[in-house]
Structure 1
Amino acid sequence: MTSSSPDGSRPETAQAEQDFRRFFAEQFNAVLDRHVHIPRGHGRGQAVAALFGITRATAGKWLSGEGLPDLWRLPQIAQLLNVDVNELVGGSTNAMLIDDRYIALQLHGQDSPDELMPLFLQPGTLQHTSIVPGCLIMQVNATDMPTFAPVGDLVIYNPGIKWFGTGIDVYVLRVQGRYVLRRAVRTLRGDIVLSADDGQMQETFSPTDFTSDSGSEGPQIYVVGRVVARVLTRGGGSA
């Protein structure tokens, strides 16, 4: 029989989390030691609170190893301290799994697909999802899919899925050089029907109108990947 801690986690998991909190605190303090505007000792908590817009209690937990910053704050912390995120969490941002503690997925804007930055998640958040190594995240800035993904929300897509099924799925497509989200379904005749939430587009295409070649510069629609999850930034939650 396996015992568990009061919060329901296994002892080895709880210990690993505690070890990582301490590790982060050590790295965080080491970076702060090199920052000329952050004092050592008693005044450090207040300075950290002011720099990152948090309470002194929260700053104290980061510094002592009793707590961790929200994952979305990691790039912000690194930028303000002029360091790489690696210095704070260890590992490599090029790998999906970072020391079994954080997972890095590459994030890009809908209008800037070549400008990638890592977004850090806890491994447990990917359980029971279709998110696999190699998935990418796109921040939506177009208004043509407001029901599925309003402006500002994030969609996670798998660039390894470039085929259409008979069920209705949402895909990231490149159309005339622009990245767009579209619902897609393959008809029994084999045609592909694309539609947007705003009702401005519902067209039927032949399979020959699409390409899986990212280097294609022709009129074909490039299938970037199929959306496998959403992160709703307004109203909370993920789907």
Structure 2
Amino acid sequence: MNGCCNDANPPRLWVCCALPQEVRLLQGRLSNPHGVRFRVTGMGPDCARRTLAHWLERERPVAVLNCGFAGGLNPVHGAGTVLFATDDPHWERRLRAAGALPGRFTTSGRVLQTAMEKAALWRATGADAVDMESAAIVAVCRAAAIPVAVVRAVSDPSGQDLPLDFSRFVRSDGSWAAGRLFLAIGLRPHRWARFLRLGRNARRAARQLAAVLDRALAGLPQDEGRGVSDPVRD
């Protein structure tokens, strides 16, 4: 990547996700991802902060959308509900028109496994959803005066337990140890029902999030970037 942008290398809109799997789910469903660079931050606030700050040393986007899944805290939001939070009027208009609902996010350093944990965090914060990266990404973008919006779909609603503690399968670099996860699930057959339910919820959330992004990104001005790149993590 070049360190600065010029007419031959215009700035792009960044869509930042924690995991490559989230990027693939979105990228494969966008009909015309014009002017978008998909980027993978890794999981967790520290990893997201370091990765985004590193990128910004070499390239400046016109805006950053932090996208992916979130755990539901507010019981009114079912699986697939797409929530957003931004203080940028341009992206607020676009996301509202695209069908996303305004919401409040809180960030956790680990994946919340139980409905009881999610209920306690909702009472403590009043937030609608929880994730592991958005607060760090918003802080870095605000410090750099870059427009930023959090756009996430609920994958596990407030009243549902996860099949196991997913935090145990996050590597130190923020990547996902999928092999160890599936082995752990395979050793606990009684948890397959919850795992399959989570998979159905995640696919629904991905469809809804992609539909919202498709509408929100439609007709972006040319100065908001040209072309589309493969997911980047460097």
**TM-score when normalising by structure 2:** 0.24
- Structure with greater strand share of residues: 1
Higher relative contact order (CA 8 A, sep 6+): 2
- Structure with greater helix share of residues: 2
**TM-score when normalising by structure 1:** 0.23
Structure with higher Rg: it is 1
